[in-house]
Amino acid sequence: MHHFPIFLKLHGRPCLVIGATAAAAEKAGDLLRAGAQVTLAAPALGAECAALLERHPDTVHHHAAGYRPGLEQGMALVISASGDPETDRAAHAACSERGIPVNVVDNPQLCTYITPAVVDRSPLQVAITSGGAAPVLARQIRSQVETLLPPAYRRLAALAGRLRERVKAALPSPERRLRFWEQVFEGPAAESVLAGRERQGEAEILQALQRERRQPGPQGEVFLVGAGPGNPELLTFRALRLMQRADVVLYDHLAAPALLELVRKDAERIPVGKRRGEHTLPQERINERLIELAAAGKRVLRLKGGDPFVFGRGGEEIEGLIEHGVPFQIVPGVTAAQGTAAYSGIPLTHRDYAQSCRFLTGHRRNGALALEQWAPFHRDETLVVYMGVANLEGVCAELQAHELPAAHPAALVEQATTPAQQIVIGTLATLPQRVRERGLEGPALVVVGPTVALQPHLAWYQSAPDAERAFPRHGCLRRDPLVSPGG
C-alpha cells in the first residue's frame, strides 16, 4: 500500500482551510459534513466561501489576516487551497514540524495525507483513492460504485448499528456474530430494508437472532475452491465470495501470491502446498486437517491452483469429508491447461491441426514416469503434461519412443497467465536443452502437438523469445510440413 487508509473522527474538532477559492469552499464543505469546526484563512473570501460562512455562522470562522506559520497550532488537520506556492510550502513545513496532517490541493509532494473520492451512505462510507496519481480515475470508479450501492444502504447500515449491542449480548462469540451478520446481509431481512420495508426487515433480523441463539454452535463447512492458473482476474465470482467468508484457508503453492490477498484478512492461513521435492503436509494429513477444522465449527477454504478435479486431488479430499459427514462445496476453476493455452497462444484444439486433447501427468503416486499406459500418441492431438518439468527429458524421450517424431512441436510454459509467464518453444528433441538454457524450474506445463507451431501467430499476452527460432513466422495460418500429422 502506498497510503494507510484511515477515517478521521472530526466532529467538533477545529480544522484549518487556507485560501478563498472555490476549491477551498469545496474542502471546507466536506469538513463541515464530517462535523468539524472550520477556520478559513484568507484576506478576503470568494463568493463560494462567503456563502459558506453565511450558511454556517456557528461552525465556520474567517481569519481575515490570511495564513501565517503558527495559525495551524491546535488544528486537527490543515488543507491549503491558496493557489500560492509560497503559502503552500510554508503551511506544509509548519504542519510537518508540528505533526499536523496537511493536504495541499493538487500538489501530492506537499501532502502528508490525501482526500479520497467518497461514496457516502453514512454510516456506510466507501473511500477510493489513486494516491494522487490519477484523481480523475478515482472519481470515475466512485461513479461506478455509486451505482452498486443504492441510497437505501444508508438505512441498512444504520439499522445494523442500532441492533449491534443487542446482537452482541445475545451472541457473545465474535465468530458467531460474524456469521450471523453475514447471513443477515445476504438474506431476506436486508432485501426488506433495501426495498423500503424497514420495520419488516428489523423484525426478520430479530427472528433470525432468536433462531441463532437456539443453535448449539456454528457448523463447520469446507469450500474446495479452484484458484485458477495464477491470474487473480480469472477467479470465479463464487470463488471470491467464499474466499471472503472462510475462517481458515489451507492453500497450495500458488503461482500468484496475490491470490491470498483476496482471502478474508483475519482468516488463519495454513500452507500445505507441494513443490518439487518439498512437501509441507502429506496428502493424508491434509485430508485429516480439513475434517478436524470443520469439526471445530470452522469454515475451511481449501484453495487449490487450477481446478480441484484436474490433477488437484480434490476427489481424495472430499472422500474423507463424505465419510465423516462434513458439509462441503466445490467451486471449479480455470484449469492450468486452459489458462496456459489461452495466454500462450497455443490452442488445445484446432480444426486444421488437432482434433483432440489429452491431459497427462508426469508424476504418479510412486514417483515413477509411466506415459506408456496412455499410448499410442497421435500426431494430430494436443498433449498437456502436468508435473512434467522435473523429468522433462524423460517425458520427451517416452513420447518419441511411442511413435511421435523427434521434430514434433513441444513447448514449456512457466507461470502461465501471470506477468512472470515465460514460454520456451522447441521440439521433442530440442525442448529439454532449451529449458535448461533458460533455467526454468516451474510451476510449468508441457504442451506437445501441432498447435504449438501456431504460437508465434497467436501469441497476444507475452512474446515467446524462442518461438521464431523454432518455427518460422508465416504471413497466414497454414499447415507447415514440420507440423503436419504426417510427420
305 assigned to a ligand binding site: yes
- Contact residues for 285 (Cβ-Cβ < 8 A; gap 6+): none
310 assigned to a ligand binding site: yes
Report how far residue 252's alpha carbon sits from residue 275's, in angstroms, rounded to the nearest whole number: 9
246 assigned to a ligand binding site: no
Beta bridge partners of 120: 125
485 assigned to a ligand binding site: no
- Contact residues for 44 (Cβ-Cβ < 8 A; gap 6+): 20, 64
Which of 295, 299, 315 lies closest to 307 in space, CA to CA? 315
335 assigned to a ligand binding site: yes
Give the count of alpha carbons within 13 A of 473, CB side only: 13
Active site residue 252: yes
Beta bridge partners of 446: 385, 412
- Prior bond to 443 cis, omega within 30? yes
Report how far residue 338's alpha carbon sits from residue 445's, in angstroms, rounded to the nearest whole number: 11
**Which entry of 30, 88, 247, 252 is annotated as an active-site residue?**
252
Task: Evaluate whether 337 touches 310 at the Cβ level (below 8 Å).
Answer: yes
467 assigned to a ligand binding site: no
327 assigned to a ligand binding site: no
Provide the sign of the torsion angle of the four alpha carbons 81, 82, 88, 91, taken in this order: negative
Strand order, beta sheet including 60-63: 60-63, 37-41, 14-18, 77-80, 102-104
The burial class, CB within 10 Å (0-12 / 13-18 / 19+), for 61 is middle
The burial class, CB within 10 Å (0-12 / 13-18 / 19+), for 44 is exposed
387 assigned to a ligand binding site: yes
70 assigned to a ligand binding site: no
Report how far residue 320's alpha carbon sits from residue 363's, in angstroms, rounded to the nearest whole number: 23
Cβ neighbours, 10 Å, residue 12: 10
Active site residue 58: no
**Which entry of 84, 120, 274, 480 is annotated as an active-site residue?**
274
Task: Summarize the annotated binding site for NAD(+) as residue ranges.
Answer: 22-23, 43-44
Task: Summarize the annotated binding site for S-adenosyl-L-methionine as residue ranges.
Answer: 229, 305-307, 310, 335-336, 387, 416
Task: Summarize the annotated binding site as residue ranges.
Answer: 22-23, 43-44, 229, 305-307, 310, 335-336, 387, 416
What are the catalytic residues?
252, 274
